[in-house]
Copies of this chain bind each other. A is one copy, B any other.
Amino acid sequence: MAEPSASPLAAALDSVGDRWSLLVVEALLDGPRRFGDLQEGVPGIAPNVLSGRLRRLESEGVIVSEPYLERPPRYVYELTAAGRELADALRLLSDWGARHREGGDTPRHEVCGTPVEMRRWCPTCAQPVGDDELTDLHFA
C-alpha cells in the first residue's frame, strides 16, 4: 500500500484491491448490511479483518456507516455511489472466476449461442459507444 499510484489501475487497487475488500464490496451490492450479516456474507473472514477492511473502505469513500444502536454502539454499512460503481468490474471478475475456476462455460446469447461481450453503452442514444466516441477522459 506504500507504493506510489503509478496508474489508474494501481490507484484503484490501492483503494479496494485486496481479496477481502472486494468480497466485502460484493456482499454490500444487494443493500446495507450489519457487521454480523457481513461475517455471514463473506465466508471465512475474521472479525478483526472485517473491522479493518470496513474502516479502510470508509476512509476511501467506498462505504459509509450509520449507527443503528447506541448502547452497545452498532453500525450498518452501505456502499457510496463510488462503491456501487464497482459492481460491473466485480461482475466481470465473478464471471471470469465462474468460467475458469469452476469448470463453467462462457455466458452466451440464448437465441443464437454467441458468447457475449461487454460494450460501453449510451442509455440516452441507446447504442454502443466506442473508445473514440468518449469525451476526453480523466488525467488532468
Contacts and interface: CB of A to CB of B under 8 A. Distances in A.
A74 interface: no
Interface in A18-44: 18-19, 22-23, 26, 42-44
Contacts of A135: 105, 107-110, 113
A17 interface: yes
A118 B118 contact: yes
Contact of A18 (B9, B15, B18, B92): B18
Number of copies: 2
A139 B92 CA distance: 15
A6 B43 contact: yes
A70 interface: no
Given A11-B102, A17-B19, A111 B139 contact: no
A125 B139 contact: no
Contacts of A17: 17-19, 22, 93
A105 to B, nearest CB: 6
A118 B117 contact: no
Interface string A104-123: 11011111111011111111
Q: Which 3 A-B pairs have the closest CB atoms?
A: A104-B138, A12-B97, A11-B101
